[in-house]
Amino acid sequence: MDQVRLLVIGGDAAGMSAASQARKRRSREDLEILAFERGAYTSYSACGIPYWIGGLVPGPSALVARDPSTFRRDGIEVRTGHTVTGIDLAARTVTVRSPSSTFTEGFDELVYATGATPIRPPWAETSAQGVFGVQTLGDGAAVDAWLSADPRPETAVVIGAGYIGVEMAEALQRRGLRVALIEKAPQPMSTVDPDMGALVADSIRKMGIDLRTGVTVSGLETAQGRIRAVVTDSGTLPADVVVLGLGVRPNAALASDAGIPLGATGALATDLRQRVRGVEGVWAAGDCTEVLNRVSGRPVHVPLGTHANKQGRVAGINIGGGYATFPGIVGTGITKICDLEVARTGLSTRESTAAGFRCVSASVESTNRAGYFPGAVPMTVKVIAEQDTGLLLGAQIVGRTEAAKRIDAFAVAVWNGMTVTEMTALDLGYAPPYAPVWDPVLIAARKAHDAL
Amino acid sequence: MDQVRLLVIGGDAAGMSAASQARKRRSREDLEILAFERGAYTSYSACGIPYWIGGLVPGPSALVARDPSTFRRDGIEVRTGHTVTGIDLAARTVTVRSPSSTFTEGFDELVYATGATPIRPPWAETSAQGVFGVQTLGDGAAVDAWLSADPRPETAVVIGAGYIGVEMAEALQRRGLRVALIEKAPQPMSTVDPDMGALVADSIRKMGIDLRTGVTVSGLETAQGRIRAVVTDSGTLPADVVVLGLGVRPNAALASDAGIPLGATGALATDLRQRVRGVEGVWAAGDCTEVLNRVSGRPVHVPLGTHANKQGRVAGINIGGGYATFPGIVGTGITKICDLEVARTGLSTRESTAAGFRCVSASVESTNRAGYFPGAVPMTVKVIAEQDTGLLLGAQIVGRTEAAKRIDAFAVAVWNGMTVTEMTALDLGYAPPYAPVWDPVLIAARKAHDAL
């Protein structure tokens, strides 16, 4: 049998998981694997960047799960600093730009795992230094260097109060900067409902971060090639460093240019086995793809490391001759901001309505542990259910400790299409150090049942 | 309409939940509620007793959720210190012994919620002081008083290393006693598999508790009316106090004497709405009843406060004219012993085999948080699945922190009859402070899938 050649575009979680799983199942004689990564790092935890910047974890090497030499040892050739600039599906080749040359490489199978790029609105296009998106480990290194350089930045403005914005705001504050966090929406974390977002806003402000919601940025002020301030519709904020937390866009241009049709979200669309729809021998995984939201039934673009890893694994198993599928997501997301824990799964109220559900919701205040147990602190749990059927549509949690991972019980319940009524009977773990005799999850399900 | 009279036998979680839910739905004019409790306390957390004895939480009043005066205010009459000694189903009366007299009370509806009693083998029948079972708040008060009395106990022997035994061993050690913990089986916590039990045994020993497994007790030594030692097949252990942790037996004699048929486990058998099978107008809930194990399909006796509360609530809703069911359990149990967290759900390997399943299992070592995040500590997760179908049968977790409540994801998965293969795709919460990018739950499911 002739050796098959697998090219991987993108050396992070999705691409390298695919490579590793394919390698596990097929010998070097049978399958050659060559990966191109435009950055300097492979298989890293981008989610760890805020903690690195904040000084909680060392970086960047601690965030790298496997480096190129490890992959090479396992028979996966990785070329960092190599950017794929074109794909020719008819010729089965890609064009690659290395630091020293441009060349083409042929492939039999292709894994497209190019990730995503922070959104940079026109007003953020500047040649001045000190404005960062934070998506790759390289981005993290650039921020880290800027914060340590002279003149030492003292004021920071983070634009966008989603996961990465909020995490970076905390990181910058930890690093000793005065931090303003600007959000266009009336609340931070628009992935949760307004009432839950208000709890998050309170906590962010109590941390001493200058959170400004409902504020629109109109431009940046620069001087001597450095960022100086952020201009908003409610004033100008001094900024020695600006971090963009406005979300990311799938890196799909390369695919689009090659004639690969994109999905409705602008990301690559794949089948359950991560094959790009309508293109033979091309696979895609990770932040450049769209995924099925199992609750709304719609494709969505949800760039998260946990999905990227799973999708890459699925692609690799299938390339390796095995069988695996990625059946979609239910919209779970959690984050920690200082001692505040925020979690969500399923659909928010707004998302439920947008999907066409008529829904009810219920919120409860409970505690992480039995009320009498040391360390018991409050937790707010909100549940959203379809009005007519009681179908659990989503849940949100804001708490202080032992709160966020409680979302997993909801995530599994959403996955399985449980009703809130059935949820009230769930046999969840109970002992005084871990939960009140009615776990907050159960109380919230009961209240939602009562609201039907 | 004539007023209906509801009698409740037993004033703890099950009985008083039933009373409260019935009261919520029916007015005082419509429904009279009268509860008899033989002890001094109502609606308390028996699960909190070890933490009270260990000095972690105040007691006993902190463990009482609602006291008789609160119930009275809500229109529920409670008589503590009143023991029901007989039920006459034909006459619709109960016989009650109060501190001062014996009398009968009529009823239209009856809630049987008598709880359970610690098992006391023949060798433990003694008139000497210092030997305790720990089931009621009164038991807790007796232990507490004994530990504080002169001569102050210095050595303790706990017999039986299940949940209550292990928790009490830790409590007694915290209280300053030298503690031996004796278990007949080769491992503590026989509710988990031997390999997981070995991890628990190691930890218990590292705490300085003298754990002795595979040891049988043959008798007690007493002197001057006090316990002095425990005689075992591997020596005699000095004991100024003995705690029995040999499990509990449902308090079903009163029902049995009244001609109410018991279930296969020796506990009361009810339908889904908590009606005692075959007896009109009699309800049962809590530790005196058996419940359906949804995985094995068998009735089991699992005395836990969380089930008692749910069953009582269901009975009360139904008595109140509403509709609710208690569809059974999946065998979830968690405990904390110092900084060790132990959790299980579904069936153990032994229980799976006994139920007729041909099963495989897989264990993984992972961490509670991303490996690079501060506070990341190891956790062992074991998954048991049906060999031919991949059906998730059970899971067990032993870890140090943020471990035990991860069992909830498994509990919901077991409840819904998920396969380990489908579980590998679950959308669980991921962020570095909470989990590695592959949550230990997912890694364990993957390994179990690979083992199929």
Taking only the tens place, the pLDDT of each residue in B195-254 is: 999 999 999 999 999 999 999 999 999 999 999 999 999 999 999 999 999 999 999 999
Query: Is there a contact between B430 and A305 if contact means CB atoms under 8 Å apart?
Result: yes
Neighbours of B445 (CB within 10 A): 32
The pLDDT assigned to B144 comes to 97
**C-alpha dihedral (A192, A193, A199, A204), degrees to nearest 10:** 50
**Residue type at B21 in one-letter notation:** Q
User: Quick one: A379 and A421 in the same domain?
Assistant: yes
**pLDDT (mean) for A68-90:** 97
Of the partner residues B48, B372, B435, the one whose CB lies closest to the CB of residue A57: B372
A414 has a pLDDT exceeding 80: yes
Alpha-carbon distance of B346 to B357, in angstroms, equals 12
User: Quick one: A125 and A242 in the same domain?
Assistant: yes
pLDDT digits (tens, 9 = 90+) for A371-387: 999 999 999 999 999 99
Is residue B111 within 8 Å of B319, Cβ to Cβ?
Answer: yes
For chain B, say whether A204 makes contact (Cβ under 8 Å).
no
| Residue B325 counted as domain residue | no
Q: Known catalytic residue: B359?
A: no
Cβ-Cβ contacts under 8 Å, A413 against chain B: 412, 416
Cβ-Cβ contacts under 8 Å, A430 against chain B: 47, 304-306, 332, 334
| Residue B324 counted as domain residue | no
| Residue A182 counted as domain residue | yes
**pLDDT (mean) for A14-31:** 97
Taking CA atoms, what residue in B is nearest to A373?
B57
| Residue B113 counted as domain residue | yes
How long, in residues, is chain A?
452
User: Quick one: A446 and A342 in the same domain?
Assistant: yes
CA atoms within 13 A on the CB side of B111: 41
**pLDDT (mean) for A137-151:** 96
Is residue B381 within 8 Å of B366, Cβ to Cβ?
Answer: yes
For chain A, say whether B413 makes contact (Cβ under 8 Å).
yes
Q: Residues 237 to 266 of A: which have CB under 8 A from any B CB?
A: none
User: Quick one: A288 and A342 in the same domain?
Assistant: no
Q: Which of B309, B420, B426, B427 to mutate to test the interface with A (most CBs of A within 10 A)?
A: B427
**C-alpha dihedral (B85, B88, B89, B92), degrees to nearest 10:** -100
For chain B, which residues score pLDDT lower than 70?
1
User: Quick one: B212 and B264 in the same domain?
Assistant: no
- Verdict on whether the full-model pTM lies above 0.90: yes
| Residue B91 counted as domain residue | yes
Asked whether the bond before A122 is cis by omega within 30 degrees of 0, the reply is no
Q: How far is CA A271 from CA A181, B178, B428, in A?
A: 39, 63, 22
Query: Is there a contact between B57 and A372 if contact means CB atoms under 8 Å apart?
Result: yes
User: Quick one: B172 and B214 in the same domain?
Assistant: yes
Taking CA atoms, what residue in A is nearest to B441?
A408
Q: Structural domain of residue B27, as residue ranges? A: 4-117+249-319
User: Quick one: B110 and B72 in the same domain?
Assistant: yes
Counts of helices then strands in chain A (DSSP H, E): 12, 25
User: Quick one: B193 and B128 in the same domain?
Assistant: yes
Q: What is the residue whose two structure tokens read 């002795």?
A: B212
Q: What secondary structure does DSSP assign to A355-384, as a single string?
A: HT--EEEEEEEEESS-TTSTT--EEEEEEE
Beta sheet of B77-80, edge-to-edge order: B77-80, B31-37, B4-9, B109-112, B282-284
Of the partner residues B309, B326, B329, the one whose CB lies closest to the CB of residue A437: B309
Of the partner residues B306, B370, B431, the one whose CB lies closest to the CB of residue A430: B306
Q: Which of A226, A246, A266 is the last residue of a domain?
A: A246
For chain B, say whether A447 makes contact (Cβ under 8 Å).
no
The pLDDT assigned to B1 comes to 62
Alpha-carbon distance of A47 to B12, in angstroms, equals 47
A43 has a pLDDT exceeding 70: yes
Q: Which of A427, A428, A441 to mutate to test the interface with B (most CBs of B within 10 A)?
A: A427
Cβ-Cβ contacts under 8 Å, B325 against chain A: 425
Instruction: Please state the separation of Cα A30 from the chain's center in Å.
Output: 35
User: Quick one: B31 and B51 in the same domain?
Assistant: yes
Cβ-Cβ contacts under 8 Å, A332 against chain B: 427-430
The pLDDT assigned to A1 comes to 62
Residue B232 maps to which CATH number? 3.50.50.60
Q: Residues 13 to 52 of B: which have CB under 8 A from any A CB?
A: 13, 45, 47-48, 51
Q: Which of A203, A226, A246 is the last residue of a domain?
A: A246
| Residue A327 counted as domain residue | no
| Residue A160 counted as domain residue | yes
Q: What is the value of ipTM here, to two decimals?
A: 0.96
| Residue A328 counted as domain residue | no
User: Quick one: A289 and A338 in the same domain?
Assistant: no
The pLDDT assigned to A338 comes to 80
**Residue type at B197 in one-letter notation:** G
The pLDDT assigned to A59 comes to 84
Alpha-carbon distance of B7 to B31, in angstroms, equals 10
- Start-to-end C-alpha separation, chain B: 62
Domain count, chain A: 3
Query: Is there a contact between B404 and A429 if contact means CB atoms under 8 Å apart?
Result: yes
Q: How far is CA B141 from CA B61, B137, B247, B248, B422, in A?
A: 11, 6, 19, 18, 48
User: Quick one: B349 and B443 in the same domain?
Assistant: yes
**pLDDT (mean) for A98-111:** 97
Q: Which of B319, B347, B372 is the last residue of a domain?
A: B319
Distance from CA of B57 to the nearest CA of A (A): 6
Q: Which of B295, B405, B422 to mutate to test the interface with A (most CBs of A within 10 A)?
A: B405
Taking CA atoms, what residue in B is nearest to A54?
B373
User: Quick one: A254 and A113 in the same domain?
Assistant: yes
For chain B, say whether A412 makes contact (Cβ under 8 Å).
yes
Q: Are strands A241-244 and A155-159 parallel, antiparallel or unpaired?
A: parallel
Cβ-Cβ contacts under 8 Å, B55 against chain A: none
